[in-house]
A and B are shown apart, each in its own frame.
Chain A
Amino acid sequence: MSSARGHVDAHSTRWIAAILGIIIALLVLPPVWYLFQGSLFEITPTGAVGEFTFEHYRRLLEGERLATSAVNSFVFAIGSAVVALLFGGVLAWIVERTNAPFKVLAYLTTIISLGTPYVLYVTAWLFLLGKVGPVNDLYRWLTGANDVLINVHSMTGMVLVEGMLWSPLVFLLLSATLRTSNPEFEEAARMSGASVWDTIRRITIRLALPAVMALVLLVFIRAFEGFEVPALVGLPGRVNVLTTDIFLALKDTVPPDAGRASAFSVVLLCVVAVLLAFYNRISKSAERFHTVTGKGFRARPFDLGAGRWIAGVIIIANFLFVLVLPNLVLLWASVLPFFQAVRWKAVGLFTLENYKAVINSPFYLELVWNTLILAAASATIVMVLTLVVGWLAVRRKPGGWLLDQMATMPLIFPGIVLGTAVMQIYLAVPIPIYGTIWIILIAYVIRYLPYGMRYGYSGMLQIHRELEEAAGMSGAGNLVILRRIVLPLLAPAVASGWLFIFLLASRVLSLPILLAGPDSQTIAVAMYDMWTNGQGTELAAMGLLWTLIMTVIASGFYFLSRRSGAGVYGN
């Protein structure tokens, strides 16, 4: 291109790409580097790098700790994926494809659970399934026995809680798949004389299989790298998995054993990277089966006949188990000075002290501020970056592919691993941000870049190329096209991506638990501390109030994302 004008315009895109490339590389690459360095070198407590060593890995392999944790991680992840798929998958089909009643309850359940911090969810289930919780209580009352029906602090308890935690997401993603897949395949089967059951078995399931497999793998990965349930449910019962081992090496060891944590992290990182590669392959083939016609059709639902009432009962059961019971038990706990079995005589102890304590505390107010500011700031930064990267990538501008790859890379970091890595960087690099809100913000931006990419990229894909080309032919340069055509058209996708990241960032525990200092706590960390300090009832009060705020925001997200139709990675 020797034309002077040609240079000017191609240059403007190259500059954008180069600047973005530097920012993203600075965010994404150091964590990987420091993690590997930390696992392969002696690092002194002052952060100086010592000798090269395999000692950290050797110590990992000593004893049966690694093997036990790894096996536990796998069992936990597989179990959770199966439970989540059973609950969420059946529900999605009933809601999207049949004439069952009470469908609105399923959506309600999903929206509210999107706004609930995991810590709170998990504690609700711990209340429910705990020794004096209503489930075991009922069991004892019915059988007259003295023991418990289930011990929640066990692998079974972990799997159940994690599975229930993910079922709304499975529902959300699978119902989106069912909604956009072409109903004519099923209708053609029905017209060929197939029964409802035959159609489900031979057409619906076959067509949805790749999407379902992708989803199973997704939940598997998320559970595998999950931290909340293993920490709250597993640790007290001494059921360790890889993520809690990393946590223990850093928080329960004095001085923190960063080498061991790094080695653990590298192991976890590798496993997750392999799993994600699998996931990408499966979900690619899932997309091929996915025939979006772009028409606003709505599938005619199957008539289940009398069976629709059974389906209705399933919807109500989901509503009860995922939404009503956990929140009821939280409500029960929140008006008691300490948690008690559900008995009539406990009613006399009812008090609003917990709520008063929460509302009047300046400390909690600061937590709310910290959390909201962090969530809003990280969502904004991520969406600005990924909007431009998405444009460069989809339109195959120079550097676009590389930027896309870099921005998607943090997906391989489990939260706890990223926390470990970021901690090491800022211990080593002399920037005084450790223990401040800034280090958490940086970690959030890294963590949520891939999620933003998902929205930026798929939003871009929906914009017909000719809309931009028409602007180019009208005489507009790249920057003008970006500002006047792309940005306004992407607004719905950007808004729903922003809200999604906001919701994730406002409830995540695994990052701030390692990075937060005394003045930079977030709601999720405070909840975790309250639970481990035995302030469960105060936690319930605060959690319910927080859930209320978040549910409002989550409904906004839900309606926006239904309109913009972007998929999500989960979490």
Chain B
Amino acid sequence: MLAVEGLTKLYANATDAIAGGIRDAEFRLEPGTFFTLLGPSGCGKTTTLRCIAGLEKPDSGIVRLGDRILFDGAAGMSVPMNRRDIGMVFQSYAIWPHMTVFENVAFPLQVSKDVRYGAADIAARVQKALETVNLGGYGNRPATRLSGGEQQRVALARAIVREPQLLLLDEPLSNLDAHLREEMRVELKRLQRQTGITTVYVTHDQAEALSMSDRIAVIEKGRIVQMDTPEGIYYRPKTRFVAGFVGVTNMARGTAEAAASAGAAVAVRIETGEQIFCQAVGSIGASASVAVSIRPESVRLEKDDGAAPDTPAGETVLRGRVDQASFQGQSRRYDVQIAGWRLMVLADPQVRLSPGDEVRVRLSLRDTIALADGNE
């Protein structure tokens, strides 16, 4: 469906000589995929999106949509943006203030060159698009009399009214308040599934990315560092950056006790002295320095009754003391002191421990990851 190969667009920055942009982006999407570009602000997400849209001319690379080549740097060809048949929702929504809601949504049909739409046909399609975004009956409203959420829906209706092959969304929820954002997240996902339009979604919010996407590409400083399903990104981060950026994690530095190939178990001695069994991401050399990442919700705590614990193969059991406890609604947060190491744990609210309690900390092999430190 959408195929991007070796896409590069760099901005030479005259003042501080730090080149922003995107380097060597490469991905291929199946029809109907909800694909998310995730990364911190300034990492190059918008640049990538604008290159696909044709709003920016890439330095090199190929962009293909279906059987059409939209851009080919080597062949020097580029389809202008108004001929790409791509729907886009801008970060500012870009609702034209001098038109009504109807006129805004009808615009793509009115200016269409390939297919001529009759007035009745336009009215019907606009109506349908507005109903899809739950704005039926808003047609005559002036565009200036819309709330943020309504503007966002109009922008969506305008993007899908032509039934384009591809939908691009640039941080569409970032201008909404928290409550509305939650609601629109569900709404957007429903809409995408209903229309089946292949979608590229840009966000810096990992929760949004995890909850909506079929696939996620994490971008760091202009490079895609990992591309995977939400679960893969969350549980099997490939680098310290991904582990730290997606979700909250406990990070510790240590040394591998033996060499290990990718996916194999490896014992790691962390800086505070404990030995932890981890799953290696990528191959790790003997006594290589590694980073250990442990998701706070994958840790299990139990009261330490002094008896010798059962230790299933590969599982790490450590002794510690609860330092702080707080109730957070869906979970309880405990800060556990293990020798010199402080571990954050999110536990089921049913588990009730108090500060000062001695505890056993169980880390399963599957959720404890060793990352070669070079992968930072």
Residues of A at the B interface (CB closer than 8 Å) are 1-3, 5-6, 9-10, 464, 466-467, 469-477, 480, 484-485, 488-489
Contact = CB atoms under 8 A, between A and B. Distances in A.
B162 interface: yes
Interface in B250-299: none
Contacts of B193: none
A6 B81 CA distance: 9
A5 B90 CA distance: 25
A179 B162 CA distance: 44
Contacts of B112: 475
Given A471-B107, A476-B107, A489-B97, A6 B88 contact: no
Contacts of B85: 475
Given A10-B80, A469-B90, A471-B96, 13 more contacts: A3-B78, A6-B79, A466-B90, A466-B93, A472-B80, A472-B82, A473-B87, A474-B107, A474-B108, A475-B82, A476-B111, A477-B82, A484-B107
Interface string B118-160: 0000000000000000000000000000000000000100110
B78 A473 contact: no
A117 B80 CA distance: 51
A469 B81 contact: yes
Contacts of A484: 107, 111
B80 to A, nearest CB: 5
Contacts of A5: 79-80, 83
B90 A470 contact: yes
Given A470-B88, A489-B97, A475 B78 contact: no
Name which of A467, A480, A488, A489 has the most chain B CB atoms within 10 A of its CB.
A467
Contacts of A1: 76-78
B96 A473 contact: no
Contacts of B162: 474-475
Interface in B57-104: 75-88, 90-94, 96-98
B111 A475 contact: yes
B82 A470 contact: no
12 contacts: A1-B78, A3-B77, A3-B80, A6-B77, A467-B96, A470-B94, A472-B55, A474-B82, A475-B83, A475-B113, A476-B111, A484-B111
Chain A interface main SS type: helix
A473 B91 contact: no
B273 to A, nearest CB: 51
A485 B91 CA distance: 18
B76 A2 contact: yes
Contacts of B53: 469, 473
A488 B87 CA distance: 23
B94 A464 contact: yes
A5 B86 CA distance: 16
A134 to B, nearest CB: 53
Contacts of A489: 96-98
B105 to A, nearest CB: 10
Given A6-B77, A475-B162, A476-B82, A464 B92 contact: yes
